[in-house]
């Protein structure tokens, strides 16, 4: 964003606006950060960058409550998760536990061969 510092926020790309929003929130040096759909509508490369930032913030000691439909990416950075359906918690646990629940895995993560946006080709 440094190279865009003289540009109006409304003219930034979706990913740049998302990074600006994260930066604005971090100005207060929060210990807890609530993020609502940070990857929504973003290109796969930007999604990957946003989640890299989220992971870095968490490693720096910021507790993050993440609401995200991109379950595969969210579970990569999560320490614990809650699965909501129609406003109710239907499943909670550690990310690895979701792998054991085949019905839930298929419904929210697809088959094990599918890739999430931002996830590169496996070699």
The answer to the question of residue 117 being in a domain is: no
Q: What is the CATH number of the domain that holds 60?
A: 3.40.50.300
The answer to the question of residue 115 being in a domain is: no
The answer to the question of residue 91 being in a domain is: no
Task: Indicate whether 121 pLDDT > 50.
Answer: no
Whether pTM > 0.95 for this model: the answer is no
The answer to the question of residue 113 being in a domain is: no
The answer to the question of residue 53 being in a domain is: yes
CA dist 32 and 63 (Å) reads 5
Nearest to 48, CA basis, from 26, 25, 70: 70
The domain of 25 spans 2-79
The answer to the question of residue 74 being in a domain is: yes
Structure confidence by residue, pLDDT tens digits, 7-51: 787 788 877 888 888 888 889 999 999 999 998 888 898 899 889
The answer to the question of residue 96 being in a domain is: no
The answer to the question of residue 27 being in a domain is: yes
């Amino acid at each position: 964003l440094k190279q865009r510092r003289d540009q109006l926020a409304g003219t930034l790309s979706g990913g740049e606006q998302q990074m600006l929003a994260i930066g604005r929130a971090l100005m207060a040096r929060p210990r807890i950060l609530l993020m609502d759909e940070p990857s929504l509508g973003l290109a796969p490369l930007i999604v990957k960058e946003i989640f890299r930032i989220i992971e870095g913030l968490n490693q720096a000691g910021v507790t993050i409550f993440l609401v995200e439909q991109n379950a595969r990416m969210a579970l990569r950075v999560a320490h614990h998760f809650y699965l909501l359906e129609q406003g109710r918690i239907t499943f909670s646990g550690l990310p690895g536990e979701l792998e054991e629940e085949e019905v839930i895995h298929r419904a929210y993560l697809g088959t094990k061969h599918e890739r999430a946006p931002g996830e590169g080709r496996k070699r």
